[in-house]
Chains A and B, each alone.
Chain A
Amino acid sequence: MASLGSLALFLTLAVSIYATVVSWLGGRTGRLELVASARNAIFAIAGLTSLATFLLLYAFLTHDFRIEYVALYSSRDMSPTYVIASLWAGSEGSLLFWAWTMSIFASILAFHNRNLTNPLIPYVFAVVMTVQAFFSVLMAFVTNPFQTVPFPPPDGRGLNPLLENMGMFFHPPTLLLGYMGFTIPFAFAIAAMATRRLSSEWLTSIRRWTLIAWLFLGVGNILGMQWAYVELGWGGFWGWDPVENASFMPWLAATAFLHSVMIQKRRGMLKIWNIVLIIITFNLSIFGTFLTRSGVLSSVHSFGQSALGPFFIAFLAVGLLGSLGLLYSRRNYLKSEDELDSLISRESSFLFNNLILVGATFATFLGVIFPLISEATRGVKITVGPPFYNQVNGPIFMFLLLLMGICPLIGWRRASRANLLRNFLYPSIAGVVVAVAMIAVGLRQTWSVIAISTSAFVLSTILLEWFRGVRARRHTRQENYFHAFIRLVLSNRPRYGGYIVHLGIIILAFSIAGTMGYNTSKEVSIKPGESLSIGKYTLRYDSMSQYKTARKDVVVANLTVFNAGERIGTMSPEKFTPIYYNQDVTEVAIRSNLEEDLYVILMGWDRIGGVTAFKVIINPLMAWMWIGSIVLVGGGIFALWPERGRRPVRRGT
């Protein structure tokens, strides 16, 4: 089985190199049969990588510990769900998953363009297959997931206990799909430059691919936040860890692209900028994949030291310099068709939005690579932590939030003073009223007041925009309010999907402002029978119990929770020690409602005296984080959904 798996990987490498060469030749010479052969090669690669993935999965499910990767990441007593998730638990398997999903995406692309009429397609195939070949080289020669061991162990080591969470089933694959998904927009950008077809047509072709990748990366990050919150036991959801940042950066750059692309489609401006953003997004995705595997930075997510680093650096250097060189050679084909009519216009607010998003990306990138810079220049690895990111990115995101409100109400091209006054009067009043109300009730944490009042302002602008759209439609088409609203939203899914995403962001901002501004925590050591109080809650420590499973020793603290004297339930934080891993793992207890989360961590205990240490946190508005995330993802899916009665994009979607 291992030899068949390795054969599939070597064949994938050979066929992807072949596909790269023939599709490029087909594009250069105009010989369609060469491109058709490359298209079939893509289908064959999908078959080969699917076979390799299936074989590895089969090895996991049958506990074939002759394969080293299976022995390292699974064991006989693991549930089948986690055994399946073990496929991407290590560097080798996750690279195979990357290559496999890449080949599936490439096949969908090839199937949609099977008649090969789109002149960009030969070059798109060539770029996608180059990336496929790169990952195949890594798997074939550096980290082969089918590597066998001479003496198979009777049982495997099992999954790291921190990874035994449902998050493991969804978080890594969605992130990997997001990273990988940006290959196709990047391939279209390179193809557009190679063929000099740099009008807006290639943008139409990649809109859906970019949105899909953006959505996967966003969902991956959200799932990571949720997982960190419930599993890591520190009460937070985002630690500005290098690998978290690595997945956040391409998402920010892609968000900038999704906004600036509208300017090119509507006004024919920012053509070079859009290509630069796609190049940055793709290279940041590769950088993220590299960061997890290189071992250059320590992170809760990294796979540890490996020999992959130099390969990724070489690939990044070639990809970045090559694409920027091509861009420079095509600069004359990328001249703007128009110019800004006014600085106070929707275009300029889009431009600011782009600068801010790219600024946030750069600030985060600087923070990530700062340890490497400091080590190179001063010989000491200095890591920057959450305070740096919060101080730099906090104000940046606040300004971005404000622009989100300003942008929809400024008309394209220009906005007069009277127009501004008319559009911003009510939203500004809403923002001020919320700020005053917060201060009046004693919620005076500066950043939270600014964030929540700005959120109110933005929410009002969105509602006002929708109301005016409905009114305009009612006036011109004689529809009732309900029908006018539904048809307005359905008439332009990308636009109104975007507004729904903005709504999600507002809810997230509201939640972050509440959680970060008004959270309270307490660390206490108490004996059974004693109580602790935090806010309106009192927690009575009743007892401690222990139990054993085949894989872990578990200690549970039992607490009864009272809200203003009334018993509302029990909470049972745990700590367990896995048999195969020498580390304690915390299982927090959370009581959640729309107002706040009560979060209890079992810190430690004295076996003789019975004194037990707890950390209790109240995180206000935390549930809104997940509600906002659902709204954001829903908006993305709504924008992505094909419009009824409208044919798919003419060529190459």
Chain B
Amino acid sequence: MSEAAINDFVIKLANVNGTGSASANGLLMKAIFRMGVPVVGKNVFPSNIQGLPTWYEIRVTEKGYRGRSGDVHFIVAMNAETYERDLAELSPGGVLLYDNTWPRPHFLTRPDIQVLGVPFARLCNDAFKAARSRILMKNMAYVGTVAALLNLDLDVIHQLVREMFSTKPKLIDLNLQAIALGYDYAKEHFDCPLPFSVQSRDNTAGKVMIDGNTAAGLGCVYAGATFGAWYPITPSTSLMDAFAKYCDQLRVDVDTDLHKYCIIQAEDELAAAGMIIGAAWNGARSFTPTSGPGISLMSEFIGFAYYAEIPMVLFDIQRVGPSTGMPTRTQQCDIQLCAYASHGDTRHLLLFPADPGECFEMAVQAHDLAERFQTPVFVLSDIDIGMNDWMVDELTWDDSYQPDRGKLLSTEELEKIEKFHRYLDVDGDHIPYRTLPGTHPKGAYFTRGSGHNKFGGYTEDGQAYKEVVDRLRAKWHSAASKVPAPVISPSKKKACCGIISVGSCDGAVLEARDRLEAEGLHLDYMRIRGFPFSDEVEQFVADHDEIFVVEQNRDAQLMGLLLLETDVPREKLIPILHYSGEPLDYQFVYSALQEAARVRKIA
């Protein structure tokens, strides 16, 4: 638990979903970001359109930490249904702001907090006529109050309102009026600002606020993908929305209105998988965004693409399972599913982004790897990365980039060769050449998921079958040095123990590690970014006596994968597991590491 201070505190907004609170909360976060102070935003929302509880948490962190802290210093309680829970969650010394149009004296049962009441409903009912405005404007009214209490720059807020409603200018004045209502009330009734508030800094230059799904969709545009197929599923939908939006902006001929892309909303995930396989088999870069249930449904096709050696790019925006699970809550629960998806001996390439910046980069890498290795590639994001706005370095692009189309024979090359065999390892690199339909009569072959020999012919001969699947395994293994390398962050002092983690755990793990280091517990840290595991992963495991594996699932899936795929002995690995569905916070990791170190007597 840490004290709130200037530019270092957490504000949580408790709302009812479907009341327009999301844009108000986003505005608050953006205002702080524009004041030059780094922020971490987490939207914890229900699988519902209207009426259920939803929370938005903004961590203000001048030091630029990237994870949640676990504290709540300021609650804006706008949902009577969750008052009890919100009250209980507030850290001692915290502030609770609520709508006292209907007073709640029992809030005063916590003497260790400060309760502030503003009659938002009454103010809005007096000021606005339309029923919908009265609901919507309550959000802007609390934005005004929060701005006064946290000393936010009103010019920045007003500018954001003008940008937000640039296409509906009539709404600008209405919203500014609501903000003034809440602001003036606070100035009149409370000591503003609070002891913790925001002071302008210059710590966000060169940064953008973007969510991982948007970044991944944009990455697919830059990768040169022209075909996408998908079945709507939370939380992956916004990835295809982003791809569609940018294609609409960038790839529609202004004169003819014709498209240089095709997006198909499939009848289910099975069909989405088949479509991207068909398009990739025919030479168009293609992809599908989905989540765990979609991967389950696509599994048969994933095995087909693996065995028939067809490029396939899948984005799994992981959500809480099993089954339908909690569709709007986050987890890293599909690691093992994706590593070996489909029946028979199958193994795939996995990429693990840790933030939207890496979603952009890895979207491009996934397309290159899928074509280079002619195999399915999974980008394993999650709700936290995919749907929350993260502060990251502005995305950059190298104009010299050319897509790696892999070993694809052109018409001219086919003209020169005597005979083409689809699955023959001509170069000794385990990767055969492939051809596209329509290029040359010599390039024809019969793609099949049934047993085939190295020439592409049907076989039920055990030896001929083994020759192909052994090469497939070698091919997969050779990708270990081509998937993104792990990021290793050594301790300041030599450490005998380490941490391994993955994806969206990164911010919380780094912060916990730094704080433990300040207290004398030294741990090296490696963040895995690709599968199959590279030599660096093997080396890190070999170099440390004990390793804490931090991940967001119940069954220690990453640890399991390390045990299966490296030489690490079982007793070296200690799981640290978070799987409640809320994004990981550093205090959880800190406490778990501290306790584990104490039990194991690690200094």
Q: Do A and B come from one complex?
A: no
- Point out residues on B near A: beta carbons under 8 Å: none
